[in-house]
Structure 1
Amino acid sequence: MILTVTLNPSLDRAMEIDSLARGAVIRAASAHLDPGGKGVNVSRALLANGVPSRAVLPSGGDEGAQLVHLLQAEGVDLIAVPIAGRTRSNITLAEPDGTVTKINESGPVLTATEFAAVTEAVLTAAGAARWVVACGSLPPGLSGPAFGELCARLVAAGVRLAVDTSGPALRAAAEAGAALLKPNREELAEAVGTPLRSLGDVVDAATRLRDWGAGAVLASLGADGAVLVDSDGVVVGESPVAQPKSTVGAGDALLAGFLAAGARGADALAEGLAWGAAAVSLPGSRMPGPDDLIRNTVRLHPRPDLVRPLLPQG
């Protein structure tokens, strides 16, 4: 079983529109309401592919109750810790050319008492898990050092910990000895304080995170694919998508596929890339199932050209 932790979950409403025009009345061609949050998405992707998972998250207000209802409807094994604040709602606007505009609420304040309750729920459930996956932004009121303490307690308990977050929390997870970090390009650049313009830059930045204490780094790079840096070396891969619909949750699907395939080496990277590409091909924040996966488009480069420039960021 893989246990996920989402400290700032959300309701995600995704709408497909013809074009985004500021100040105009825009009619949506379709709309989807999905459970949201990186750890939530990892659990949803795992369960969609028959991999046991349990999700821990704080939940508050009518939005939190609706989030719990949606997750239960999808069959997610859930530990919801009550909080006083209201679970946030996010909006995604997707255009036909693949352009995605996101509007994310910051989320409710998580008090020290509420975070302690979440922590105890995680530590109690972690004993039955082969991985604990802590994902997403920190809610207001929770500091990077406090998150690092949670990571350190899990590592000290012998848990294999994977973390997908940003800012000070990412460095705190590395210094706590997380077995796996999964930053995207922007998060990795922020962590090391320098732009990433080539595959070599990505590898250098990932190596710094490993120097800080992380076991392995899986960097998701959007259309440039992903880079895995671990004790065995460097593997680069990509899986092109002919008709992208939404990038929301693609990195979460990548991480889920990587973990499901054993979380080590080229084969796990290839599976993660297939899951991530499948998520990009689906609307909103839907997670791919077995019928959505197309593995023959994945290309791996065990000896990558590290001077290859990355695509410009939009």
Structure 2
Amino acid sequence: MTAFHSDGEKEAFFKTIEEKILDYEKAKSTVDGIRKEMEGHPSAALAARGSLTMTGNTLLNSSGALLYSGGDMTLTEKGSVINRGGTINAQGNLSITAPVISNENESFSSERVWTSHVTNPKLIRIDQDGHPEKGQAFPESEFSRLSSGYGAYHNKGITPKEPLEEAAYGIITAPTEEELAEGEDPVDPSLVGTLAPNYAYDDPIFQQFGITSMTTARPKNGDPAQKVWDESYRKILDSLNVKIREYNREVEAYNNSIGAIEGAKIKNYTIIRTNTHTSEKKVTETKAGILSGGKNMTLVGDVTN
């Protein structure tokens, strides 16, 4: 397995493979030319209709040569019997005796070919200081809120619940450029710096928690009726906050149960993108030696096939 840490490393590796393939094809073309020329010449053959017996020091049968007997064949050598890409065939019994008996492949070549290219699922490595899983990488599907901009959680993809903001009056401020870019609505400049509640009187939250809100909108700034309206509305917001705090405690317990605790929030992480390229060696040519007998075969010696 080869690991790449950049596109440059991967491209350099593939280029090297392509160059080696070209070198192999060039060398193979030369060899094929020589072999084609040799195929025009007949290979040697020793054949007997009956039995065939050979005794000597060494026997080399190669390059498509044939030793054949219509009956039994007995080969006895003091040194070695080497069948390199040739055929030794007896229709009867075949008996070979020698210190070394080797049945070899005269011509074997292979090339490496690419068989598949797979884009692997993305992994997320946690780089957040203090996180119990810092340095470990997990499938992207196990994280939530990766694109929120406020921190992600490793909770096996279970989405945490959002706590609710408590109801209160506050000074209206203009949204920042970043907040506007993220989709927040602009604020009327005349309202900036004034006091206002963070929940409108007709917000769905009142219906969610079964609280009766004001029946009319808040009077505009400068209207004397606004003060009386605000006094009544503040009492309603106090009742709402009781419900919100209870809800937020349930949210915190739920988020803790799935591992989305605030202390485990992940703001620093690395996205790991990988590809898997699979290759294998493919045999392009082979010319193995053949030893065969029509009946029994006896080999006495150190045999390599």
- The TM-score normalised by the length of structure 2 is 0.18
Q: In terms of Rg, which structure is larger?
A: 2
Pick 1 or 2: higher relative contact order, CA cutoff 8 A, min separation 6: 2
Q: Per residue, is there more helix in 1 or in 2?
A: 1
TM-score, scaled to structure 1: 0.17
